[in-house]
Structure formats: C-alpha cells, structure tokens
Amino acid sequence: MLGDFLFTCNVNEFALAHSEHGADTYYYMFSHRASQQTWPEWMGVLHGYEINFIFGEPYNRKQFKYTKEEQELSSRFMRFWANFARTGDPNHNPDNSYISDWPPYNSKTMEYINLTIESDYIQKGAKRIGTGPRRKHCNFWKFIPKLISISGKFEEKLFNKKSCVM
C-alpha cells in the first residue's frame, strides 16, 4: 500500500501525462517474487527488485540459485530494454521482426504489461496485459486529502469556542 503511494500512483500520473503529450509510452508492472528474495513474503514484490533481472543476475549460477523460469524472465527483460534503447519500442527486435507482447500505454486503454514468470500466468492466473495499474488503490490515496479537508471543517464546527460540544 505504501509502495502505491510512493511509487505506483506517481508513475501512473507521469505515464498518463507523457502519453497525452504524444510520446510513445510503455508501462510495466513487475509482479514476480524472486526465489532469491530475502524479505518476508508478506512484503510482496518491492520497488526496484526487477533490476536484478534487467542486468541478468539470474544467469550468475556461481552466486545465485535462480530458477530456469527466472532466467527466461531475465532474458525477456533484457530483450525488451535493449529493443527500447535501440528503437524506442520494446517490441522491435534487432532482426526487424516485431512482437506485440507489450502494448503502448495511453489514456484510453491504460494498458501495461505484467512481467512475471510463465507459471504465474498459467498456475496463478496472472494477467499478461493489465489496465490502469492499481487504479483503485491510487483512487484511495487521492481520496485521503479530500477526507482530511472535510473532516477538518467538521472538527472546527464541532469544537469551536462558542459552542463546545464534547
């Protein structure tokens, strides 16, 4: 929940603004809890934990014991990032072939790719493509300031000096 407030909701706003100004925008969520994760399971997937996959750590068999599926996920990450750096499109491969795994993000569809291992899609029912990343959670955080402003006015009326109600 705190991760939504600190990261996801702000990235949602940024991605929306970026796409509305005509820029090609690609959004992802990393939802795989790595086998090498050291934090308690209840903490879920922490911000920045995809970095290990982007830089190929699962292939370092001398230091780590990542699964074969995690190596495949790392390969997908590296391919997407290299394609994006080279062409501005994570789907455009160096041989000019094109995969349509990752849809562009825009204000109409708000589609993003959910990056996780294959068995999460098959066994856990994880979606490959989602819409409006954690939108309900972010709406909660948008509502809090409104709630505070309403309750502040109520509190002033309830506890003013002329008519003290307790």
* Inside any domain, residue 166: no
Residue 163 in any domain: the answer is no
Low-confidence ranges of the chain (pLDDT < 50): 165-166
Residue 87 lies in a domain: yes
62-105 confidence digits (pLDDT tens): 999 999 999 999 999 999 999 999 999 999 999 988 888 899 99
Q: Identify the pLDDT of residue 5.
A: 57
pLDDT attached to residue 150: 74
Dig out the tokens for 79 from the structure: 């391919």
Looking at residue 74, its amino acid is S
Q: How far apart are CA 49 and CA 51, in angstroms?
A: 5
**Which pTM was predicted?**
0.74
HSE on the CB side for 53, CA within 13 Å? Answer: 29
Assigned domain for 88 exists: yes
Give residue 39's domain range. Answer: 2-133
Tell me if 159 is assigned to some domain: no
Position 140 in a domain = no
State the total domains in the chain.
1
Determine, yes or no, domain membership for 72. Answer: yes
The pLDDT value recorded for residue 81 is: 95
Q: How far apart are CA 159 and CA 166, in angstroms?
A: 8
The answer to whether residue 69 is domain-embedded is yes
